[in-house]
């Protein structure tokens, strides 16, 4: 699908390597992040401790509000030095010299015996998580105090006597003596939160008094995130103390929420402790819901429990199917019942956690896209506004309290891709935090991101997460693995191997053959060569980078950075709006004739072993009777197609195959064709243009495979006659005549001189010398001509006479407002514009047209021709050598996908859906783990529900 924008073509004229960040600069940024963290921590200790928070503008303490309705303050103010607690796990990493005294102060002064009502969720993630993380750190220290001193890197720091205990001369600090007390505090806090779980539904109250329990008249309203994001802290507390109540209650709460999901596996954002969803009945990934999904995947990692994985991936499939927009960039609220987007539709700062979760789940491609939207929000406002009306492109809620979610996602994506783009994002964030929020004694909340107005509050997560994740980003410290995760408050928690629960024999049998993998992120390379040679194009070189910008800035050139003249913005360009394949749906296998309206496929909601059976050796599932089976199908994170994920109640795990053995398939499906069908060119292709220096081309003009610099990508329409652009061999390795097709090496693009001020139209043959081609050269080339003057067929015949194997036809210039429309461009409803597919009628048996198949024709927009002509302007000895390459419009790495065996999709007969290798198809995409035992079968389109 194409959309024509007023300005949407970003021409790339750079080597991305020059944007790599040097180690020295990264070290400088790391030191600056650490300095800012120390500034905030020491400001709190000097001006606010032992209060829970600092007032950064007036440099004083912030206490509980006497007004009990001010839950924004009171939910986290428990009179327990909350900021000190929350940063406790960060100090050993960023400010180790302050850690000994901090541990001592917490162990000796903090008490949760407070007559205060607080939020269960906030106390869990900020205080309980910090204590458990600190306990594990202390537990891992050597018993010898001198070795503790070294392991904590206290010997490598300049100590300030006011921040350590007892003095800088004492190198035998025994911090491990406080381990028991820290766990005791965690256990005490956990027990004080237990009264919140009184409701029989398992859904806890949102708030509890730490001394008196649930107060009379307490509100039954809670949120999905608040009730369902206690798993990590509560499970670890149970296993460290042997008190199973915490894990059991958190598990029950998590399941109680999930068991009330909609038929589409969507969750609401507000629920009552009585178990009913409350108004407004919206689903999404933002405020009130965010960490429920996060804790699903992280509980799977930390606890090694596929129960949570299963719930997470089911919920994530619903998000990708109903919450995500079709372009794959926006995750907006939707009504849980009507499945309609909210109006007005917003995205909020809390939902910026999503890319980090997507990385952890293995869906890096989706993470890159969702992160780009938040990146453009940040760079437009130099902060992250609390909520943004994305359709109107304006801020709804202007505040920014220093939230860490976007920074956390930047850190995760850098770890997944190692693209220096994310370091530059971090550099921008660091600069803005320093210039917009730093005060004399801490960091202020931004009340208005557009005016810069500040508010006298510093939330604890500014230190414990925002500045810590920036430090981890620049320090290139990998995120934890092996049953270790960062909580939603940034505290590292791990489940020791000795405390992991072994799966039951039944669960082990079900998981037989499972092979969980995350696809490796590979940026595409110049020339379509999937190797590490050549120019690697990073995030900023992606085709959709500028599209994400337009979602926030609009469709003009605002937000486009011209840094050093190496980027050029052209008005009137074209951006292809991507449309993501439907993520999850059901297919029905049935021998019925789907063309008959009376043929209603039956449904077997719980197929037994007579129909579906699991191979105890391989873990694969065998279908011996397809009647009534509904198969859940989901998109693969590696982009190769789909996988079956369930057959009714039978869950199919990654690595397990579904094999159809039903003889009924023979009776109702066509039999394999005797020979492969001819391929047909797709109507649209992606063109990649490259520039070569004289040293990157041979003396006779042949282009080297790896020497080109990418200039731009454009969409082109193929002619209905001429060369078939889909071929079954690659000219990268073939030794026969060169051809112009998908996945083949770049060919030289010849742009003829103008004739009397007008571009060459290709209606008459010109000499090779006039075209600038060496007479002795036998290298293939593509000729660029302009539309008009003669028919498309005549242009192709002239190009064949000249010796070109391809012809690039440039469309006509746009008609300016007020200009008359030429008669030849008039069409019903206006005038012709955009891409067209050149066509021609001719007798293929006529001798004159015997060579039509030797030359390929592609049509592209006028603006592309203008850009290319500007690139070759100059003296003859300075003219650039240009190359042109064809890519599949959905594959920028030059590959053709999906593949059936060793053959590309375009070889599949659209009428009969011939299969090679036994894979079944849904539209253009194969179901990778669904196999037919007889490879002689070919499969018509599956009987799909109407919503597919």
Query: 289-299, pLDDT tens digit by residue?
Result: 999 999 999 99
pLDDT of residue 770: 86
- Residue in the structure block whose two tokens are 């873990």: 619
Nearest to 466 by CA among 433, 419, 420, 418: 433
Six-digit token string for 483: 């049953």
Separation between Cα atoms, residue 885 and residue 714, nearest integer Å: 11
Q: How confident is residue 171, by pLDDT bands cut at 50, 70 and 90? A: low
pLDDT at 608 over 50: yes
- Report the pLDDT value the prediction gives residue 669, as an integer from 0 to 100: 43
Distance CA 434, CA 249 (A): 42
Please tell me whether residue 596 adopts helix, strand or coil conformation.
coil
**pLDDT tens-digit series, residues 481-533:** 789 999 999 999 999 999 999 888 888 888 888 888 888 887 754 333 333 33
CA 795 to chain CA mean position, Å: 44
Q: How confident is the model at residue 107 (pLDDT cuts 50, 70, 90)?
A: very high
Active-site hit among 290, 382, 459, 544: 290
Question: How confident is the model over 377-391, as a mean pLDDT?
Answer: 97
Q: Model confidence at 712, in pLDDT bands (50, 70, 90)?
A: confident
Tokens 């079709």: give the residue.
326
Q: What is the pLDDT of residue 678?
A: 37
pLDDT tens profile 429-460: 999 999 999 999 999 999 999 999 999 999 99
In which residue ranges of the chain is CATH 3.50.30.30 found? 684-887
933 is in an annotated binding site: no
pLDDT at 569 over 50: no
Q: How far apart are CA 573 and CA 5, in angstroms?
A: 7
Residue 678 CB coordination number (10 Å): 10
Q: How confident is the model at residue 680 (pLDDT cuts 50, 70, 90)?
A: low
Is the pLDDT at 340 greater than 80, yes or no?
A: yes
CA distance 825 to 833: 8
Q: Alpha-carbon distance 345 to 683, whole Å? A: 35
Higher pLDDT, 754 or 830: 754
Query: Is residue 122 flagged as an active site residue?
Result: yes
Catalytic member of 233, 348, 382, 405: 405
Q: Tens digit of pLDDT for each residue in 756-793? A: 888 999 998 888 888 888 777 778 899 999 998 899 99
Cα of first residue to Cα of last residue in the chain, in angstroms, is 18
554 burial (CB, 10 Å; 0-12 / 13-18 / 19+) is middle
Q: pLDDT at position 154, please?
A: 84
pLDDT of residue 536: 57
Chain centroid to CA 12: 23
Q: How far from 365 is each of 371, 429, 480, 636, 639, CA to CA, in Å?
A: 10, 23, 21, 11, 9
The number of angstroms, rounded, from the C-alpha of 496 to the middle of its chain's C-alpha atoms is 30
Note if 27 is an active site residue: no
32 catalytic? Reply is no
Average pLDDT, the chain: 83
Specify the pLDDT at position 481.
74
**The architecture CATH gives domain 684-887:** 3-Layer(bba) Sandwich (3.50)
Specify whether the CB–CB gap between 349 and 403 falls below 8 A: yes
Q: What does the pLDDT read at residue 825?
A: 54
Catalytic position from the list 52, 53, 75, 122: 122
Query: How is residue 194 written in tokens?
Result: 């237990």
Determine phi and psi for 282, rounding to 5 degrees.
Answer: -110, 145
List pLDDT tens digits, range 855-892. Answer: 999 999 888 888 888 877 755 555 678 889 887 665 43
Across the range 929-943, mean pLDDT stands at 54
Is pLDDT above 90 for 464? yes
- What pLDDT, on a 0 to 100 scale, did the predictor assign at position 507? 86
pLDDT at 630 over 80: yes
pLDDT tens-digit readout, 786-837: 998 899 999 998 998 898 999 999 988 876 666 666 665 554 444 455 678 8
CA-nearest of 498, 508, 499, 495 to 301 is 495
pLDDT at 871: 76
Catalytic residue among 386, 543, 546, 620: 386
Give the CA distances from residue 25 to residues 91, 354, 639, 673, in Å, rounded to whole numbers and listed in that order: 23, 29, 35, 62
Confidence band for 223, pLDDT divided at 50, 70 and 90 = very high
Q: Is residue 191 over pLDDT 60?
A: yes
């Amino acid at each position: 699908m194409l959309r024509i924008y007023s300005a949407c073509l970003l021409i790339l004229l750079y080597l991305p390597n020059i944007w790599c960040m040097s180690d020295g600069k990264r070290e400088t940024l790391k030191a600056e992040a650490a300095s800012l963290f120390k500034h905030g921590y020491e400001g709190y200790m000097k001006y606010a401790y032992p209060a829970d928070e600092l007032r950064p503008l007036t440099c004083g303490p912030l206490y509980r509000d006497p007004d009990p309705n001010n839950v924004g303050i009171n939910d986290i103010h428990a009179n327990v030095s909350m900021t000190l607690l929350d940063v406790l796990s960060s100090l050993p990493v960023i400010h180790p010299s302050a850690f000994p005294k901090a541990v001592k102060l917490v162990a000796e002064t903090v008490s949760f015996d407070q007559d205060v009502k607080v939020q269960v969720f906030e106390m869990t993630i900020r205080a309980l998580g910090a204590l458990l993380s600190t306990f594990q750190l202390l537990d891992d220290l050597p018993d010898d105090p001198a070795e503790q001193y070294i392991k904590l890197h206290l010997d490598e720091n300049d100590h300030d006597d006011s921040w350590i205990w007892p003095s800088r001369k004492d190198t035998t600090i025994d911090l491990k003596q406080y381990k028991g007390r820290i766990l005791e505090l965690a256990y005490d806090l956990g027990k004080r939160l237990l009264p919140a779980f009184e409701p029989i539904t398992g859904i806890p109250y949102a708030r509890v008094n730490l001394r008196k329990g649930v107060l009379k008249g307490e509100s039954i309203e809670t949120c999905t995130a608040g009730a369902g994001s206690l798993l990590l802290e509560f499970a670890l507390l149970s296993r460290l103390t042997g008190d199973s109540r915490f894990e059991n209650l958190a598990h029950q709460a998590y399941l109680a929420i999930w068991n009330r999901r909609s038929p589409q596996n969507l969750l609401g954002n507000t629920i009552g402790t009585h178990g009913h969803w409350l108004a407004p009945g919206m689903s999404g990934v933002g405020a009130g819901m965010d960490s429920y999904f996060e804790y699903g995947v992280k509980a799977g990692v930390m606890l090694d429990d596929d129960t949570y994985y299963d719930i997470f991936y089911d919920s994530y499939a619903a998000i990708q199917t109903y919450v995500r927009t079709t372009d794959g960039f926006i995750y907006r609220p939707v009504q849980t019942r009507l499945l309609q987007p909210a109006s007005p539709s917003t995205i909020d700062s809390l939902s910026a956690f999503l890319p980090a979760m997507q990385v952890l789940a293995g869906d890096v491609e989706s993470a890159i896209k969702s992160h780009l939207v938040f990146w453009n929000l940040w760079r437009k406002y130099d902060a992250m506004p609390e909520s943004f009306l994305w359709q109107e492109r304006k801020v709804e809620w202007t505040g920014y309290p220093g939230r860490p979610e976007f920074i956390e996602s930047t850190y995760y994506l850098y770890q997944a891709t190692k693209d220096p783009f994310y370091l530059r994002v971090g550099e921008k964030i660091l600069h803005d935090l320093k210039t917009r929020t730093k005060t004399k004694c801490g960091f202020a909340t931004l009340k208005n991101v557009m005016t810069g107005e500040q508010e006298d509050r510093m939330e604890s997560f500014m230190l414990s997460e925002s500045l810590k994740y920036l430090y981890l980003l620049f320090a290139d410290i990998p995120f934890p693995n092996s049953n270790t995760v960062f909580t939603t408050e940034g505290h590292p928690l791990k489940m020791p191997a000795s405390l992991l629960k072994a799966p039951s024999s039944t669960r082990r049998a079900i998981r037989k053959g499972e092979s969980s993998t995350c696809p490796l992120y590979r940026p595409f390379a110049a020339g379509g060569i999937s190797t590490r040679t050549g120019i690697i194009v990073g995030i900023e070189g992606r085709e959709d980078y500028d599209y994400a910008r337009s979602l926030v800035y609009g469709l003009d050139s605002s937000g486009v950075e011209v840094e050093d003249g190496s980027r050029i913005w052209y008005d009137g360009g074209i951006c292809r709006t991507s449309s993501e394949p439907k993520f999850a749906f059901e297919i029905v296998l049935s021998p019925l004739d789907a063309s008959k309206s009376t043929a209603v496929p039956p449904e077997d909601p719980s197929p037994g072993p007579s129909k579906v059976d699991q191979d105890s050796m391989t873990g694969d599932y065998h279908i011996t009777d397809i009647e009534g089976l509904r198969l859940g199908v989901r998109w693969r994170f590696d982009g190769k197609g789909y996988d079956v994920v369930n057959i009714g109640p039978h869950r199919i795990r990654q690595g397990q195959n579904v094999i159809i053995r039903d003889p009924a398939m023979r009776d109702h499906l066509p039999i394999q064709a005797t020979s492969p069908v001819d391929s047909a060119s797709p109507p649209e292709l992606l063109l990649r243009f490259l520039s070569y220096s004289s040293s990157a081309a041979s003396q006779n003009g042949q282009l080297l495979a790896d020497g080109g610099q990418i200039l731009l990508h454009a969409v082109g329409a193929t002619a209905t006659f001429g060369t078939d652009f889909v071929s079954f061999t690659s000219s990268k390795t073939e030794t026969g005549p060169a051809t112009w097709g998908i996945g083949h090496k770049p060919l030289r693009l010849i742009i003829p001189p103008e004739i009397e001020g007008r571009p060459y139209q290709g209606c008459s043959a010109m000499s090779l010398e006039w075209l600038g081609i060496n007479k002795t050269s036998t290298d293939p080339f593509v000729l660029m001509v302009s539309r008009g003057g003669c028919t498309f067929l005549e242009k192709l015949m002239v190009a064949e006479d000249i010796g070109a194997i391809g012809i690039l036809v440039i469309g006509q210039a746009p008609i300016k407002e007020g200009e008359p429309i030429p008669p030849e461009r008039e069409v019903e409803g206006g005038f012709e514009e955009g891409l067209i597919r050149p066509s021609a009628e001719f007798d293929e048996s006529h001798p004159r047209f015997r060579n039509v198949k030797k030359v390929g024709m592609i049509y592209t927009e006028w603006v592309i021709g203008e850009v290319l002509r500007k690139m070759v302007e100059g003296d003859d000895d300075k003219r650039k050598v240009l190359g042109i390459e064809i890519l599949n419009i959905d594959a920028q790495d030059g590959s053709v996908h999906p593949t059936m065996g060793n053959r590309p999709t375009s070889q599949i007969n659209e009428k009969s859906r011939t299969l090679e290798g036994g894979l079944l198809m849904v539209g253009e995409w194969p179901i990778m783990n669904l196999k037919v035992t007889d490879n002689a079968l070919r499969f018509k389109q599956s009987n799909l529900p109407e919503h597919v």
